[in-house]
């Protein structure tokens, strides 16, 4: 009977011990961002892009941003500029977005989905100034 009374407290005591143990564990390795040399992808320098990693291939990644879809090499962090997709919302969609009370910042097309449909097609979806829309693009043709 005595063991049954203490059994419900066992998970609580165990979690407290695990939490204390995890808090006192030093990291295996530390990287200081400014001290590490390396390449980086900055996208469009004229405004904040809100990047979203959409899909990873073997040697590249698709990155969704404001009005753009980028394909970036994982080898050297350079963009395959000839594969960049530019997709701005139409003027009518932007006006409708403003009428909904949204800001200039909100009334753009933030690319959120990029996925291969098959070997030759890529599905791309964006916010399209608060009127979501998807398109299919032919790859490599």
Check: CB of residue 93 under 8 Å from CB of residue 129: yes
Residue 24 per-residue DSSP state: T
Check: CB of residue 23 under 8 Å from CB of residue 61: no
**Residue 25: per-residue pLDDT:** 73
Does the pTM exceed 0.75? no
**Residue 33: per-residue pLDDT:** 62
**Residue 101: per-residue pLDDT:** 96
**Residue 57: per-residue pLDDT:** 87
Neighbours of 62 (CB within 10 A): 23
Per-block mean pLDDT, blocks of 10 residues, the chain (141 long): 52 51 68 62 62 88 93 91 94 96 94 92 95 92 58
**Residue 89: per-residue pLDDT:** 98
User: What are the domain boundaries of the chain?
Assistant: 49-138
């Amino acid at each position: 009977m005595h063991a049954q009374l203490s059994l419900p407290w066992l998970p609580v005591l165990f979690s407290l011990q695990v939490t204390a143990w995890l808090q006192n564990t030093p990291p295996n390795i530390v990287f200081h961002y400014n001290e590490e040399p390396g390449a980086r992808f900055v996208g469009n320098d004229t405004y904040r892009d809100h990047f979203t990693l959409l899909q990873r291939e073997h040697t590249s990644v698709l990155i969704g941003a404001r009005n753009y879809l980028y394909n970036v090499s994982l080898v050297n962090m350079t963009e395959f500029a000839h594969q960049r997709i530019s997709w701005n919302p139409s003027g009518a969609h932007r006006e409708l977005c403003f009428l909904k009370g949204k800001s200039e910042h909100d009334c753009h097309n933030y690319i959120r989905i990029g996925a291969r449909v098959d070997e030759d097609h890529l599905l791309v979806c964006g916010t399209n100034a608060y009127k979501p829309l998807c398109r299919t693009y032919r790859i490599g043709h």
